Structure 1
Amino acid sequence: MSNLERDPAEVVCPAEEPAGPALQVLTARDVPLGGPRAMNVRRTLPQRGRTTIGAWCFVDHYGPDDVTVSGGMVVPPHPHTGLQTVSWLFDGEIEHRDSAGSRAMVRPGAVNLMTAGRGISHSEVSTPETTRLHGVQLWVALPDASRNVAPFFEHAEIAEVTIDDAVVRVFAGSLPGAEATLRQAHDSTVSIFSPLVGAQIELPAGGEAWIDLDPAFEHGLLVDLGPVGVTIAALDGEVDDPGQLVPLAETGHAATLARSELGYVPVGHEGVRLRAADAPVRVILIGGAPFGEELVMWWNFIGRDNDEIVEFRRQWQADVIGRDNPDGRFGSVDGYDGPPLSAPDLPTVRLKPRR
């Protein structure tokens, strides 16, 4: 998915950030995805105070959206560098096309992972058959050693794992205690370049589950259906009780996260207990080892400094928008009926840290 903001904020993700409270609650901001009939997305990463969770650097949450009202998702060809896009749907269908020659359908229960590497362009359009659209779009920052790999695309159907009352689908990396990670028909996994996890966790009304966490990871819990009761356990076995959240009636050591909130859990926690009240719960769990590298994000580019971002934009505008070199860094997307997105204007000052 593209960042379609016409005045995108420049963000420098520092190599280290303070851990803050045991459970930091991040609220979303609404971002229109397109023109007058725009589909709104709720963005929780990046934002001031928290720019990454492991290598995860971008979280958009959208729907359930009535496509007859919003017009659905229509994102023309646009570029990416230095990242992977992870597309995960709860409802609907999206057609993906990219300049590596890939064409695939994003459907519930399967993950589409696109590695931009040194540069790629792609489009995303909800299909005519789609009446409701609902899902998340996530980005993973590539570490410096891997950020210039050749671009490629992967699709995988995801196996279900049962943990207590929960049904878990691990769509990226691995989760402690889950015997099956994400799979394709020939049992290979999609490619990741740093230690991380991405998973969907569903609970029935009244259900609960203990989810093991890797204590070397920081984690985020994005609530799609909720509210959800959350209890987190530190390595010493003591339970953290975040005082800024509303305690659940049955325990003094739990808190609630509302729909579209993202709860951040720093390193050093060995597990989380999730509880559903009188309605089903669905949570997206993301996590990974602290990224440890400073990076600059602007529009759809990830680089390491101002000059790289300026050059990426120049090449996109010249090669693709100006048609000087359609076979350049970003290539071209075949089969999309319409022009590619022009990049916004750069700020009048050098890109600077924003925390």
Structure 2
Amino acid sequence: MTLQTITPTTHDLGDFKVRRTLPSRGRTMVGPFVFVDQFGPAQFDLGGGMDVRPHPHINLSTVTYLFDGAIDHRDSLGTFATIRPGAVNLMTAGSGIVHSERSPEAERQRSAGGHQGRISGMQTWLALPDGKEEIDPAFQHIGADDLPILEDSGLKARIIMGELWGKTAPTTQHAQTIYADILLDAGTSVPIEAGADERAVLVALGDAELDGDALERHTLYVLAPGEAMTLRATSDARVMLLGGEAFATQRHVWWNFVSSSRERIAEAREAWKAKAFPDVPGDSEERIPIPEGQPKTVSYP
């Protein structure tokens, strides 16, 4: 059975919409996941693209996963990586990192030439566990061909993080994590294993049901612990499965900062205002300022 249902808050960013289910007033974490966004599907205006200017993070890992389109990632470690559908970008902020996400120039040129660029995917954040919040920043890109796949008639499930269905992804875990992208043809089923402390499912595209109960699209369903369940598609569907170990200590979220300490978040906020974070090589002309007042992303203790 489902333990909790979290309906998304939708933010209109102009070229595309973002549906956010975590953090919410009803729940701030599912396993290590403290932030769950689904963006798109959308088409950019002619000549347009994604432009997320340089901004900082602390005490978390960001996980970027695309269904469609491409994004250029740059960060203050000097990393440059283009992510495409089926691959995963894991950026560990630890003590502090700055990054930007923009549409590749080739995608912009395609759009300018009359072929509208598309974007669709998931952006999630993982809290770093106690004792690891201030580890060194790091970045890991794993291509689509290097992530394990469970495949059967009408089923293709890519394991993005952790161990599921007897297969283990090579993606680094700082806390025990499960994360999968499940593609199902209409009428196809897949078991949802009971192993993780906390689990949730989100129907990103199409229609599906869990143990016979229909699931609303874009809604996050937190599952009762310890129960194996069956996910079934009622039309062709794409469903995200996520979760992992339960944290014993609370995490706070304010803007792009996550920490077990409110004081650490205040320190990071002042450091960004003072331009004390490092620059992003190749993308240092712009930056996102600290929001005035309450930001859109905030936890509710």
For 1:162 and 1:23, how far apart are their aligned partners in 2?
29
CA contact (8 A) 1:65 1:72 kept: no
Residues 228, 256 of structure 1: 8 Å contact kept: yes
Aligned CA-pair RMSD: 2.0
- AA aligned to 2:166 is A
Q: Number of residue pairs matched?
A: 286
Distance 2:46 2:4 in 1: 35
Q: 1:228 aligns with which of 205, 208, 211?
A: 208
Q: Deviations over 1:60-112 (max 9, x none)?
A: 10111111279432100000000000000000000000001110011111100
Letter in 2 for 1:146: K
List per-residue Cα deviations over 1:111-154 (Å, max 9, x = no partner): 00000000000000122444110000000000121110110100
Distance in 2, matches of 1:117 and 1:273, equals 36
Change (3 A) 1:70 1:58: farther
Deviations 1:2-60 (A, max 9, x none): xxxxxxxxxxxxxxxxxxx7342211111234xxx353200000101111000100001
2:220 corresponds, among 262, 269, 272, to 262
TM value normalised by structure 2: 0.89
TM-score w.r.t. the length of structure 1 is: 0.76
Matched, 1:172 2:161: yes
Distance 2:252 2:42 in 1: 32
Equivalent in the alignment of 2:104 = 127
Matched, 1:318 2:274: yes
Q: 2:178 matched to 1:197?
A: yes
- Aligned partner of 1:151 in structure 2 is 137
> Are the aligned partners of 1:29 and 1:43 in contact in 2 as well (CA < 8 Å)?
yes
- Structure 1 residue identity aligned to 2:192: I
Between Structure 1 and Structure 2, whose CA radius of gyration is higher? 1
Counterpart in 1 of 2:283?
Answer: 336
Pair 1:209 & 2:199 matched: no
Q: SS where residue 274 of structure 2 aligns?
A: helix
Distance between the aligned counterparts of 1:22 and 1:206, measured in 2? 21
Q: 1:72 to 1:266 in 2, by over 3 A?
A: farther
Residue identity opposite 2:300 in structure 1: R
Q: What displacement does 1:211 show?
A: 3.0
In the alignment, does 2:243 pair up with 1:287?
yes
- The unaligned stretches of length 5 or more in structure 2 are 108-116
- Unpaired runs of 5+ in structure 1? 1-20, 183-188, 232-253, 320-324
1:274 aligns with 2:254: no
Partner of 1:322: none
Corresponding residue for residue 82 of structure 2: 105
Q: C-alpha separation between the residues in 1 aligned to 2:133 and 2:26?
A: 25
**Separation in structure 2 between the aligned mates of residue 151 and residue 117 of structure 1, nearest angstrom:** 5
Is 1:42–1:62's contact at 8 Å kept on the other side of the alignment?
Answer: yes
Aligned-pair identity in percent equals 39
Q: Per-residue CA shift, 1:310-346, capped at 9, x if unaligned?
A: 1111111112xxxxx5xxxx31101126411111135
**Does the Cα contact within 8 Å between 2:5 and 2:220 map onto a contact in 1?**
yes
